[in-house]
Amino acid sequence: MIKSILIFNNHGKPRLIRFYQYFAEDMQQQIIRETFHLVSKRDDNVCNFLEGGSLIGGSDHKLIYRHYATLYFVFCVDSSESELGILDLIQVFVETLDKCFENVCELDLIFHMDKVHYILQEVVMGGMVLETNMNDIVAQVELQTRMEKSEGGLSAAPARAVSAVKNMNLPEMPRNINIGDINIKVPSLSPF
Amino acid sequence: MSPSVPLQEMIRAIRSARTQCEERGVIQRECAAIRAQFRQADNGGRSHNLAKLLYVHMLGYPAHFGQMECVRMIASPRYSEKRVGYLGAMMLLDEKQDASLLITNSIKNDLSHSNQYVQSLALCTLACMGSAEMCRDLAPEIDRLLRASNSYIKKKAALCAVHIVRKVHELGELFAPAARTLLTEKNHGVLHGAVVLIIELCERNPETLERFRKTVPDLVQIMKGLVLSGYSPEHDVAGISDPFLQVRILRLLRILGHNNEGASDAMNDLLAQVATNTDSTKTVGNAVLYETVLTVLDIKSESGLRVLAVNILGRFLLNNDRNIRYIAMTSLQKIVGTDHNAVQRHRGTIVDCLKDQDASVKRRALELSLALVSATNVRSMMKELLIFLSSCPQELKSHAASGIFNAAERYAPSQRWHIDTILHVLTTAGGDVRDETVPNLIQLITNASELHCYTVHKLYRALLLDISTQSLVQVACWCIGEYGDLLLRGECQETEPVQVTEDDVLDALETVLQSHMSSPATRGFALTATMKLSTRITDNVDRIRSVVSIYGSCIDVELQQRAVEYNALFKKYDHMRAAVLERMPVIEKNSPGHTNGESMGEVKENQASKKPTEPKLLPQPANQVCDLLGLLGGSEETLQPSPSTALGLLTNTPSTAGGNLLDLLGDLEPEPLTPAPLVPVYDKDGVALTLSCEKQSDTAMTVTLIASNSTDSDISSFTLQAAVPKSVKLNMNAPSGDFLPARGAAKVTQMVVLNYQNKVNLKMKIRISYSSRGSTFQDTVQIDTFPGL
């Protein structure tokens, strides 16, 4: 079981935190700090497995991490997960992010934190690996985003306006528009 | 991806804050605005507010006021709001909050929603934070979804079922049939979920495991399809077809084949095929190979396959990639118990990994090396481990030190080697060894009588070099005190002779006494050692006397007490000094935890076994209890402190007076039950001692002491010592234990047998000592009247 997934940058600022086991808020922040402390000390050519810190679970738990440019992706797992498998899973997750965001960078993760959560939800659910096929994941995320967009809301107002115009039935409008004395005869227009 | 503009603006504002204080200000303003908006009626921007709140929560600021908003959003008909609401529920709620119950109904409705994405949201939330009641309520729904829905929902329902089974074990029965049918699915996601569910069911319930053994042929078929099929682009990861699914199925096969011949036979071919066909140049291939190796080693596989597996592990060990070496060592650790010889072949590589720069690899190599030490290779392994100890990272030092001690104890080829090894460890890592090391080492030294001269010379030299390592200094002081005469004699066969004068030795001990680096316990050792030397040296006895009297006014109470007692020994009891300070007898080794319940029936009273008590009790009992008795006017013959064994002084105790004592002991009931009244005799600091007596005959009585602990912290090393006047004979049986858990969870009982001529003189003084919260306490109580007499 995956106990938690943490993404933070080279200075320890959290970019995404997801705990699959309940911890109080201050405990969560302490875990993030401790994990950052452990992971940032590591060289780049050492192995990607760390025996976990004492806060998050003790002897049975490992931290499996990968360092990409400015970000650390850390998965805290227990012994029921294959270590190399999780390492590949991190790779799959990052490649999925890349496909969804087009050349993902740290700023994308910062400003679209909720989207990253939704993508993660398609990969890992309840601490267990759900789907590892990148194309499936991307397709599902696309469909869901489309659903959200179609519902509208304030941000979709321009889209609504366009569709409203498209739905306007112009031939229904009166031919004579009375604007005072001037009598303008409106020619009959062909329907759009 | 369409941006959520208000969220973005807030993030930008937070990021532009230059100091922590500014950031806090921005966030406080934003939170106030969010709170105000939550209170308002429905407006279009609700989802943005909750998203903002979740961002703030991630940065570590309190966000609990968003919980009710999550509940409201989940109930909204709009997908965008539901989405954020469920995300908020997963981040902010958990089963301990009351608000989580409110979403049960929403989840129930959403599980039967027409839109599959709404269903998936509900499933995801249930799998993340579903409480036991929610799981019970919704389990039938999940079962329905497992059977009849599209594959997207099926795979999510399968994992949700795993969570339900983890929370409510009995519901495993409900999901077993559905899990079985899921194995026939083609969709890899669903298959994966089904395998995870079956693994969970099998791990929980052995009967389910039996039932699922029948699926082994199906699983083998699926695996064959994956391994042998041609290139399938949708599942391919670096040339291997869906390695994640392969790894999962292999794990399930491992569970099904464990301890079962039939299932293991069915898998043998497949495992051989996977092991040989998988490409090991990429990480994914190695992941599959690794899982195969673990499976082969865990089931009842044929020997050829096992050899293949261990060879694969050996290849992994030599791989350049540190990750692979790490996991190879992890799996070798698992099999070192069973296939010891196979792992021994790779000992060289493992020992080399001790020198790797990577801390994780070092840790693994250390554990494996310690497991590989055996009688044949102990000298070379120990050399390597000692080199490792001098350069290992701090967090591994104490583990390495205790591992070395254990190995040395089990496989030491000679006593001298053993002592040398322990001394070496103390000099390199003395600060990180455990507390029992000191008494263990002392006991070892006393046992090796021919090495006393050698040991004391070595320790003296180590003491001159460095007095900062407390454990080393304590052992050195003890030895110098005990064997000071050997040190002064100067010659020693095993090491180069060095001329040591009495002044040098006393100087060394005084340095320890006065140094800031010495802990109180160490200074106690040094003072006692100085005292012991008064009988072993000839010229400087006055110097010793002056040292001892100076410390008679020391601030440290323990030192002061000792100094005063030693002073008394010089003044009033000078005739006894030689006898009191003579050589300690050999201490019998007792393994810790051996509580000797059976010693109740034992006759020889000196066999009340030694427990691993604080080190300073061992050299001291004669001196301390001597003073106890000084007040009662008794001699040392009648004392018997419970932890120590054969003090040479006690050989004339009445074990030879055989006869009636044996009978009396034969009459003793093993249970400390007494119909006699329980009288509290001591109650201080939460530790209470009660006493009850039972007359055995006109001249004998059994006293039962029951100790209890009503404080909030545990008490360990609880010991009782008793002393009686000269006319009374005392025999203490072994206590029921030495650990008193907090708040009276358990008691310690000890029985004492008294033999007396007349009741008039019957008094008893009891000294209680224990450690609580890291510090030691001692207290004495005098009992003048015994109830029931």
The more confident residue out of B290 and A166 is B290
Question: What was the pLDDT predicted at A119?
Answer: 94
Do B749 and B706 meet the contact criterion of CB atoms below 8 Å apart? Answer: yes
Q: What's the gap in Å between the CA of B438 and the closest CA on chain A?
A: 28
Percent of chain A with pLDDT over 90: 38
Q: Give the ipTM of the model, two decimals please.
A: 0.78
In whole angstroms, what is the distance from residue B148 CA to residue B663 CA?
A: 81
Question: What count of residues does chain A have?
Answer: 192
Interface contact B325, partner A, CB < 8 A: yes
In whole angstroms, what is the distance from residue B612 CA to residue B594 CA?
A: 10
- Site from B163, B360, B361, B399 to mutate, A interface, most A CB atoms within 10 angstroms: B360
Residue A53 has pLDDT above 60, yes or no: yes
Task: Report residue A75's pLDDT band, with 50, 70 and 90 as the boundaries.
Answer: very high
The verdict on a CB contact (< 8 Å) between B8 and A125 is no
Question: What was the pLDDT predicted at B484?
Answer: 83
Task: Report residue A73's pLDDT band, with 50, 70 and 90 as the boundaries.
Answer: very high
Residue A120 has pLDDT above 80, yes or no: yes
Task: Report residue A169's pLDDT band, with 50, 70 and 90 as the boundaries.
Answer: low
A3-36: pLDDT as tens digits: 999 999 999 999 999 999 888 888 899 999 999 9
Query: Exposed/middle/buried for B162, CB within 10 Å: 0-12, 13-18, 19+?
Result: buried
Neighbours of B776 (CB within 10 A): 16
Residue whose tokens read 């100076």: B550
* A29, A129, A131 member nearest B60 (Cβ): A29
Residue A118 has pLDDT above 90, yes or no: yes
The verdict on a CB contact (< 8 Å) between A16 and B58 is yes
Task: Report residue A170's pLDDT band, with 50, 70 and 90 as the boundaries.
Answer: low
* A82, A111, A140 member nearest B8 (Cβ): A111
The residue type at A94 = V
Q: Residue B778: beta bridge partners? A: B769
Interface contact A103, partner B, CB < 8 A: no
Q: Measured in whole angstroms, how far is the alpha carbon of residue A93 from the centre of its chain?
A: 10
From residue A148, give the alpha-carbon distance in Å to each of A142, B48, B83, B84, B218.
Answer: 10, 13, 9, 11, 41
3-state secondary structure of B722: strand
Sheet architecture: strand order including B715-723: B715-723, B764-772, B775-783
> β-pairing, A128-129 with A14-19?
unpaired
* A84, A110, A136 member nearest B290 (Cβ): A84
Question: What was the pLDDT predicted at A90?
Answer: 94
Question: What was the pLDDT predicted at B341?
Answer: 80
Interface contact A162, partner B, CB < 8 A: no
* B8, B124, B234 member nearest A121 (Cβ): B124
* A88, A132, A145 member nearest B283 (Cβ): A88
Question: What was the pLDDT predicted at B638?
Answer: 38
Question: What was the pLDDT predicted at B789?
Answer: 58
Contacts of B63 (CB under 8 A, 6+ apart): A25, B31, B53, B54, B56, B57, B92
Label each residue of B422-485 as H, E or C.
HHHHHHHHHHHCCCCHHHHHHHHHHHCHHHHHHHHHHHHHHHHHCCCCHHHHHHHHHHHHHHHH
For B633, the token pair is 């006017």
Low-confidence ranges of chain B (pLDDT < 70): 1-5, 41-44, 230-234, 238, 490, 494, 589-677, 758-761, 788-789
In whole angstroms, what is the distance from residue A135 CA to residue B539 CA?
A: 91
Based on its alpha-carbon atoms, the radius of gyration of chain A, rounded to whole angstroms, reads 26
Interface of B with A in 513-572 (CB under 8 A): none
The verdict on a CB contact (< 8 Å) between B96 and A22 is yes
B687-725: pLDDT as tens digits: 888 888 887 777 778 888 888 888 777 888 888 888 888
Average pLDDT, chain A: 82
The verdict on a CB contact (< 8 Å) between B156 and A125 is yes
In whole angstroms, what is the distance from residue B184 CA to residue A64 CA?
A: 33
Contacts of B604 (CB under 8 A, 6+ apart): B655
Do B81 and B92 meet the contact criterion of CB atoms below 8 Å apart? Answer: no
Interface contact B113, partner A, CB < 8 A: no
- Please report which helix (H) or strand (E) contains residue A65, including its range: strand A62-68
Question: What was the pLDDT predicted at B784?
Answer: 80
Residues of B in Cβ contact (< 8 Å) with A92: 237
Question: What was the pLDDT predicted at B231?
Answer: 66
Instruction: Quickly list DSSP for B486-551.
Output: HHHH---SSS------HHHHHHHHHHHHH-TT--HHHHHHHHHHHHHHHHH-SS-HHHHHHHHHHG
Question: What was the pLDDT predicted at A152?
Answer: 65
